[in-house]
Amino acid sequence: MGTTLEDASKNAAVNALTNVVGTFIDSQTLISKKTEISAGIVEKVKNISRDIKSYSQGSISYFEVLEAEEVNGIYRVTARVDVIVEDFKSYIKKYALGQQDMSVGLFANMATEKDQLEEKYNLLVDNIIEPLATAQVYDVELSAPMPFEDSPLREGYTKKLNGLNISERDAIVFTMTVRLDKAFKANMINTLENISDAKREITPTTCLNKNNYMTNYISCGRAEDWDLTWEEFNKSFRLSIFDKESKISEIYLMKDIAQASLTSDLRGLDTSKPYAWITDKRGMCQYRYEGGLFKKQRALNHLLINFLDSSGGIIDAIEIKNNPSYGTIDRWEEDDIGFMIASPRLSGLLDRDAKKPMFSIGNQGHLINRQLVGGTCGRVGNWGEFSQVAVYDELTFWITLKLNQNLLRNAKSFVVEFID
C-alpha cells in the first residue's frame, strides 16, 4: 500500500525483500539491526516507478505489478517480485553485519607498511640499540688510581663518602672514560639517515628564549617543533647524538617506532622485543617496574671491576649493578663499597662559559643515555619531549671504591668489563 501507485509499488518490493532477509539472517540480528537492514532494502528499491511494469536491476531480477486499485486515496498493489538471493544476501550483509568493501590492495598496502615499520624497528635495534646496550662498541680507558684524599673529589664528596661508612684513607679514586667506536658511529649515522623521517640540529643556543619561556639546551623538543600533532609525536621515537667538541645534538625522528614497541592492543610492551623498554615513548626513562625490569626485557650490561695480583690472578671483584627499578646503573652508591658519578667537565657537558652543565645524562657507565633537566626522569619534560635516547661519543665517570688492606697490599692492576 501507499499514497501513490509508485509508493505502493516500492512497498511491495520492500515487503518481498524483507521476507527474503528472514531466510538467511537470524532473528536476533534482524531485531538489533532493524534500522540498518530497512535502510538497505529501501535503497535497493528506490528506482522502482509506477511507470514501470516490468523491472530488473541488481538483486531483483523481475518486478511486475499484477493488480492495482485505489480506495479513498490509498493504493493497494499486488506485484510479482523475483529475487536473486545470493546477490541480495551479499548486499544486505553490509548492513546486517557491518560489512564494508575494501579498496583493491588496501590490505596488501597495510601489510607492506607494517612490514616496513618492523624492518625499520629491527634496523634500529640490531644496528644501534643492542651494540650500545651490550657495550660492544665502547673503547674504555682507565686512569691511574689515586688516594681519595689527593683526588679532586675530596672537596665536594667527603661527606658522601663518609655517609657510606668509608674513610678517606681507605678509598681510591679513578676515572673511566668511555668512547664510541668511530666506525660504529659512522654506521649508526648512516642507518639513521636511511630510516628516520625527520632530523633536527640543536646547538647550545637553539632553544634559548624560544616562545619566551624556554631557556635550556633541551627545551625545544615538543611536537610543534617537529610540525607534528601530539598523537604523531607520541608515537614517534627520537634519538639524539651528542658531539662533545661542538656541543651539537643531531636528533633523528622515526615515526610510529614507539608504538611498534607495544603489543597489538597497545596495553604493554611487546615481550618479543627485548629492548622495547628503550624504544617506547619513555625511552631510557622507563622506570618504576613492579618487581624490577619488565618481564622478558633486557637490561643494559653493567660493570665488573676485577683486581689482579702480579701474576694476573683475580684477588677480588666489585660488581656495579643496575638499579633493579631501571635496567641501568642509576646513581650507584653502596655502603662499605663506593660510589660512581659522571664528570660534566671531562665529558664536555658544561656550557661554553664552563660554568654549569647544559643538561645531565641520567645513568652511568654507558654512552646510550639521556639528556635531562635536573638529572631525574620524574621531572616534567624529561621522558616525553627532547629525545627518548641520547648517544654520546665520549663520557667520563669518577669511580670511588673502598679497598681493604689485602687489596691495598697485593693488587697490582685492575680491569673493568661490561657483563650481561
Q: How confident is the model at residue 187, as a pLDDT?
A: 92
pTM for the model: 0.72
- Mean pLDDT across the chain, nearest whole number? 82
Going by DSSP bridges, is the β-strand pair 237-242/389-392 parallel, antiparallel, or unpaired? parallel
Checking if the pLDDT of 405 tops 70, the result is yes
Residue 372 gets which letter from DSSP? B
Highest mean pLDDT of the ranges 114-118, 292-296, 390-394: 390-394
Which residues pair with residue 68 across a beta bridge? 77
DSSP E strands, 95-156: 138-142, 146-147
Q: How confident is the model at residue 379, as a pLDDT?
A: 58
Domains contained in the chain, CATH given: 5-96 (3.30.1660), 108-419 (no CATH)
pLDDT band, residue 407 (cuts 50/70/90): confident
What is the per-residue pLDDT across 148-163, written as a single tens digit (0 to 9) for each? Answer: 999 999 989 999 999 9
Checking if the pLDDT of 292 tops 70, the result is no
Q: How confident is the model at residue 189, as a pLDDT?
A: 94
Tell me the percentage of the chain whose pLDDT exceeds 70: 80
Q: How confident is the model at residue 212, as a pLDDT?
A: 44
Q: How confident is the model at residue 140, as a pLDDT?
A: 94
Checking if the pLDDT of 55 tops 60, the result is no
The grid coordinates listed for 349 are: 657537558
The grid coordinates listed for 230 are: 601530539
Of 57-61, 66-70, 175-179, the range with the lowest mean pLDDT is 57-61
Per DSSP, the three-state class of 11 is helix
pLDDT band, residue 47 (cuts 50/70/90): low
SS (H, E, C) 177-221: EEEECHHHHHHHHHHHHHHCCEEEEECCCCCCCECCCECCCCCCC
Asked if 186 and 127 count as a contact pair (C-beta separation under 8 A), the reply is no
Q: Up-side HSE of residue 100: CA atoms within 13 Å toward CB? A: 4
- CB-based burial of residue 96 (10 Å sphere; 0-12 exposed, 13-18 middle, 19+ buried)? buried
Q: How confident is the model at residue 213, as a pLDDT?
A: 47
Checking if the pLDDT of 118 tops 60, the result is yes
Q: Which amino acid is at 51?
A: D
Span 99-123, mean pLDDT? Answer: 71
Q: How confident is the model at residue 106, as a pLDDT?
A: 56
Phi, psi angles (nearest 5°) of residue 305: -110, 115
The grid coordinates listed for 190 are: 648512516
Residue 98, sorted as left (phi over 0), alpha (psi -120 to 50) or beta, turns out to be: left
What is the per-residue pLDDT across 267-284, written as a single tens digit (0 to 9) for each? Answer: 888 889 999 989 988 888
- Order the strands of the 237-242 sheet from edge to edge: 198-202, 249-254, 237-242, 389-392, 368-369
Span 173-198, mean pLDDT? Answer: 93
Checking if the pLDDT of 31 tops 60, the result is no
Per DSSP, the three-state class of 67 is strand
Checking if the pLDDT of 290 tops 60, the result is no
Q: Up-side HSE of residue 63: CA atoms within 13 Å toward CB? A: 27
Burial 347-362 (b: 16+ CB within 10 A, else e): bbbbeeeeeebbbbbb
pLDDT band, residue 20 (cuts 50/70/90): confident
Q: How confident is the model at residue 340, as a pLDDT?
A: 94
Q: Up-side HSE of residue 405: CA atoms within 13 Å toward CB? A: 0
The residue assigned the cell 648517544 is: 391
Cα gap 162→12, rounded to integer Å: 96
Cα gap 409→403, rounded to integer Å: 10
Per DSSP, the three-state class of 407 is helix
pLDDT band, residue 288 (cuts 50/70/90): very low
Checking if the pLDDT of 420 tops 50, the result is yes
Cα gap 305→182, rounded to integer Å: 25
What is the per-residue pLDDT across 214-240, written as a single tens digit (0 to 9) for each? Answer: 467 887 778 888 899 989 998 999 999
Per DSSP, the three-state class of 348 is coil
Cα gap 45→39, rounded to integer Å: 10
Going by DSSP bridges, is the β-strand pair 368-369/146-147 parallel, antiparallel, or unpaired? unpaired
Per DSSP, the three-state class of 270 is coil
Cα gap 366→402, rounded to integer Å: 23
Q: How far apart are the first and last CA of the chain?
A: 82
